[in-house]
Amino acid sequence: MTQIADQILVFVLLLNFVVLGSSRLAVSVRIVAIQGIALGLLPAILHHFSVHLSFISFGMVAVKGFIIPLLLTRAVNRLTSKRESDPFVGHIPTLVVGGICTALSFAFAGRLPLAPEHQGLMIVPAAISTLLAGLLVIVTRRKAVSQVIGYLLLENGIFIFGQLLTTAMPFMVEAGVLLDLLVGIFVMGIIIGHIRAEFSSVDTSRLTTLRDV
């Protein structure tokens, strides 16, 4: 079973690269949705069946695969320009840095003192590199929607890490994380709306210039 899980994680890592390299916001949203669905399958594959696990799987697929992407797609559809046209760091350098980060996270995970049953798994390196990819997206992009996408990637990384502890982790914690995420996305959606109303664009770099109103 762990082999299938590893293949899913490889797929997830590839999707990170797609998000890092694509300039179209709609594509990025869809890719993150696919990633969420793939990750939702992960607990079902890794662990034995239990009610609480199936809830986690179902919640993950529903929230990350459908609800949040729908909200984001609506936000993207309302934008005038549907592309990340001018990021702080270009797409190719971001891709290359993402590749380096992935390589480093594999090296790092090899040195961590993990429990023996987690030693050979892809879970830890995949988690770290997804986290880093999310951070990269947040740091290098201008638009608020892209930053939300980066936040989602980061959260996916945390979820992968959580797979090591799922059997030990009570259901409430997982549900709390998902709820947190949903609230975060709502808040960001409201902020995006406000930014657009104020500046008629969602370029967050304009927020750095303070002025009296």
Partner 1 sequence: MVTNVFIHAMLAILLPPLLIGVIARTKALCAGRSGAPLLQPYYDIARLWNKGSVFSSTTTWVFRAGPLVSLAVVLTAALLIPFGAPQAPFSFRGDMLLFLYLFALARFFTIIAALDTGSSFEGMGSAREATFACLAEPALLFSFLALAKLSGSFSLTGMLAHRSVVNLINDGAPLLMLLGGLYVIILAENCRIPFDDPNTHLELTMIHEVMVLDHSGPLFGIILYGAAVKLFVLGALLIHIAFPISSGYQVLDWGVFVCSQLLLAITIGLTESLMARLRLVKIPYLLAVATILTAFGLLLVLR
How many residues of this chain interact with partner 1, rule: CB under 8 A?
20
Residues numbered 13-52 forming contacts with partner 1, rule: CB under 8 A:
13-14, 17, 21
- Does position 190 interact with partner 1 (CB under 8 A)? The reply is no
Q: What are the residues whose beta carbons fall under 8 Å from the beta carbon of 35, sequence distance 6 or more?
A: 12, 15, 16, 64, 153, 156
Which residue of 1, 96, 183, 190 would you call a contact of partner 1, by CB under 8 A? 96
Which residue of 28, 35, 102, 156 would you call a contact of partner 1, by CB under 8 A? 102
- Does position 89 interact with partner 1 (CB under 8 A)? The reply is no
DSSP symbols for 85-145: -S-SS-HHHHHHHHHHHHHHHHHHHHHS---GGGSS-SHHHHHHHHHHHHHHHHHH--BHH
CA distance 96 to 92: 6
CA distance 83 to 63: 25
Which residue of 26, 52, 106, 158 would you call a contact of partner 1, by CB under 8 A? 106
- Does position 92 interact with partner 1 (CB under 8 A)? The reply is yes
We find the least distance from the C-beta atom of residue 26 to partner 1, in angstroms, to be 19
We find the least distance from the C-beta atom of residue 95 to partner 1, in angstroms, to be 6
